[in-house]
């Protein structure tokens, strides 16, 4: 058996290539959209990709099933409840797919979505215990898939939660302890709330340590798995629908266009948004007016999907030499409208100082002084953009809470007429949020250096 785990840190997304080296047949499970890595691996190991399996219609990224099918002629498999615009192989519960002596067995595991399946992997056809199970978004390490995403159109969280209860408590927990668990996501994904940083586990470990795998009744399960879920980025519904469609196949080798001053001005005049992917320090020191800052070093794609719209034209400002990387990472979530990139933003800003802005950043001491100001006009609106589960550690007294994933549609909920100071856990998301508010016209917006962690470290007051 050839078994390889591919992992994208930016999206906390896992995909797998499983093959039989005697026959040369292989299948890829939950591929990302830029598929050359799978093709190269298969070729290097004498394998031919004959099939692509998606465990469900993914919401957090655009799957590479169409790209792999075009490149290899592979069939595309989904669970029996799936319906798509393109031709699919409908995979039934208990169906076994022989790659040779290596066998894949389908298990219907609905709950995160109605069409969800998991894939049992047998190293030898006559093995009584599976080598492992690819659980998709049904069972994570330390958590289970959330049943409340709007991606499951036409189903309620209650309906999907009951399906998930049966999937986890009856199906997954009936497997032997030794079966390895290989989920489709890890820590940081908005597909769950308590995902581990570990990349694999076993059924036995999850039976002992995963809160959702403990014996409990259905109502208790529903209450536990739906409480404290992070806000889903707005692009999730877009991707879940697009993954069902017959769409244009992605060309990862298409070059990104370099924009001269005239082309940049024309793009901005047409309504393109400036996406500055430099780190927050460089962005704060100087950036082109109206730019939104989403640093490339971090959860870039998911965060960009929180503050941009899929149909928007985008002009990229990237760290030197990373324009193509940024474009590919946007394409992984289906954001394909990159008009081009600014060749050297430092040179451009020197030549056009009238178009340069700086971003205000405050220390916890400075913020505490502003909060204590006796003049009401000077007291800022303090905005907390962390996820709801993070509030358990406390918050800055008097702050209002709008998760970053909701800020683009709820910007008007931030009280007007006063300065705004934004904070998150450590200072990364707050730079994104502050730049978004400035781009919408709230120019007197700062972010808190070091975030809530720095506020606590300075022994400033905390509300719980």
Residues 136 and 238 in one domain: yes
Structural domain contains residue 200: yes
pLDDT in tens, 292-311: 999 999 899 999 999 999 99
Structural domain contains residue 464: no
Query: What contacts 407, CB < 8 A, 6 or more positions away?
Result: 306, 307, 385, 433, 436, 437
Mean pLDDT of 333-361: 96
Q: Residue 381 and residue 360: Cα distance in Å, rounded? A: 15
Amino acid 392: pLDDT: 87
Structural domain contains residue 182: yes
Amino acid 153: pLDDT: 65
Q: What percent of the chain has pLDDT over 90?
A: 87
Structural domain contains residue 252: no
The band of 105, judged by pLDDT with boundaries at 50, 70 and 90, is: very high
Amino acid 374: pLDDT: 72
Residues 280 and 208 in one domain: no
Amino acid 376: pLDDT: 62
Mean pLDDT of 424-443: 96
Q: 422 φ, ψ to 5°?
A: -105, 140
The band of 119, judged by pLDDT with boundaries at 50, 70 and 90, is: very high
CATH for 106? 3.60.15.10
DSSP 167: I
Residues 101 and 222 in one domain: yes
Residues 27 and 86 in one domain: yes
Strand-pair category, 2-8 with 13-20: antiparallel
Amino acid 380: pLDDT: 94
- Choose the final residue of a domain: 357, 378, 410: 357
Residues 213 and 350 in one domain: no
Amino acid 458: pLDDT: 87
Amino acid 150: pLDDT: 54
Structural domain contains residue 248: no
Residues 351 and 364 in one domain: no
CATH for 414? 3.40.250.10
Structural domain contains residue 431: yes
130 pLDDT above the threshold of 60: yes
316 pLDDT above the threshold of 80: yes
Query: What contacts 234, CB < 8 A, 6 or more positions away?
Result: 305, 306, 309, 405, 408, 409
- Choose the final residue of a domain: 301, 327, 357: 357
Structural domain contains residue 312: yes
Residues 181 and 299 in one domain: no
- 10, 125, 181, 190, 381 from 390: Cα distances, Å: 20, 46, 27, 13, 20
Tell me the whole-structure pTM to 2 decimals: 0.93
* Whether 28 contacts 38, CB under 8 Å: yes
Residues 197 and 293 in one domain: no
Range of the domain at 368: 360-457
The region that residue 321 occupies, defined by phi over 0 for left and psi between -120 and 50 for alpha, beta otherwise, is: left
How many helices and strands, by DSSP H and E, does the chain display? 15, 24
Structural domain contains residue 220: yes
pLDDT in tens, 152-211: 567 788 899 999 999 999 999 999 999 999 999 987 777 777 777 888 999 999 999 999
Residues 79 and 123 in one domain: yes
- Choose the final residue of a domain: 217, 242, 267: 242
The per-residue pLDDT of the chain, averaged, comes to 94
Residues 341 and 276 in one domain: yes
151 pLDDT above the threshold of 70: no
Residues 404 and 451 in one domain: yes
- Most trustworthy range by pLDDT among 187-191, 288-292, 391-395: 288-292
Strand-pair category, 89-91 with 75-79: parallel
32 pLDDT above the threshold of 90: yes
Amino acid 148: pLDDT: 83
State the total domains in the chain.
3
Residues 210 and 332 in one domain: no
* Whether 370 contacts 378, CB under 8 Å: yes
- 24, 123, 133 from 127: Cα distances, Å: 20, 7, 14
Q: Which of 87-96, 190-199, 264-273 has the lowest mean pLDDT?
A: 190-199
* Whether 27 contacts 4, CB under 8 Å: no
């Amino acid at each position: 058996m050839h078994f390889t785990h591919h992992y994208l840190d930016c999206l906390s997304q896992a995909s797998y290539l499983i093959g039989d080296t005697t026959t040369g047949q292989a299948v890829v499970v939950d591929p990302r959209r830029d598929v050359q890595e799978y093709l190269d691996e298969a070729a290097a190991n004498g394998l031919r990709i004959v099939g692509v399996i998606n465990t469900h219609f993914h919401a957090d990224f655009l799957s590479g099933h169409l790209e792999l099918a075009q490149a290899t002629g592979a069939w595309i498999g989904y669970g029996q409840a799936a319906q798509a615009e393109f031709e699919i192989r409908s995979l039934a519960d208990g169906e076994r797919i022989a790659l040779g002596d290596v066998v894949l067995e389908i298990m219907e595991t609905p709950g995160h979505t109605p069409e969800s399946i998991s894939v049992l992997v047998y190293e030898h056809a006559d093995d009584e215990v599976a080598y492992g199970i690819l659980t998709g978004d049904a069972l994570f390490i330390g958590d289970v898939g959330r049943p409340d995403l709007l991606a499951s159109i036409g189903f309620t969280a209650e309906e999907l939660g009951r399906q998930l209860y049966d999937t986890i408590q009856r199906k997954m927990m009936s497997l032997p302890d030794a079966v390895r668990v290989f989920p489709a996501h890890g820590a940081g994904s908005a597909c769950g709330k308590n995902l581990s940083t570990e990349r694999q586990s076993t059924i036995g470990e999850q039976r002992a340590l995963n809160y959702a795998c403990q014996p409990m009744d259905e109502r208790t399960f529903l209450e536990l798995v739906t409480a404290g879920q992070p806000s889903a980025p707005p692009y999730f519904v877009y991707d879940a629908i697009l993954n069902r469609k017959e769409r244009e196949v992605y060309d990862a080798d298409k070059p990104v266009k370099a924009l001269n001053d005239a082309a940049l001005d024309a793009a901005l005049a047409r309504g393109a948004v400036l996406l500055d992917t430099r780190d927050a320090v460089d962005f704060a020191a100087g950036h082109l007016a109206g730019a939104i800052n989403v640093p490339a070093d971090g959860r870039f794609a998911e965060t960009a999907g929180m503050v941009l719209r899929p149909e928007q034209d985008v002009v990229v400002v990237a760290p030197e030499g990373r324009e193509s990387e940024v474009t590919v990472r946007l394409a992984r979530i289906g954001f394909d409208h990159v008009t081009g990139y600014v060749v050297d933003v430092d040179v451009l800003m020197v030549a056009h100082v009238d178009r340069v802005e700086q971003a205000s950043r405050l220390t916890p001491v400075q913020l505490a002084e502003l909060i204590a100001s006796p003049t009401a006009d000077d007291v800022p609106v303090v905005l907390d953009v962390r996820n709801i589960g993070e509030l358990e550690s406390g918050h800055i007294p008097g702050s209002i809470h709008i998760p970053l994933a909701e800020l683009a549609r709820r910007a008007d909920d931030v009280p007007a007429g006063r300065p705004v100071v934004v904070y998150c856990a450590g200072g990364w998301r707050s730079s994104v949020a502050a730049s978004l508010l400035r781009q919408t016209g709230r120019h007197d917006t700062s972010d808190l250096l070091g975030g809530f962690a720095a506020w606590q470290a300075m022994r400033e007051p905390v509300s719980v």
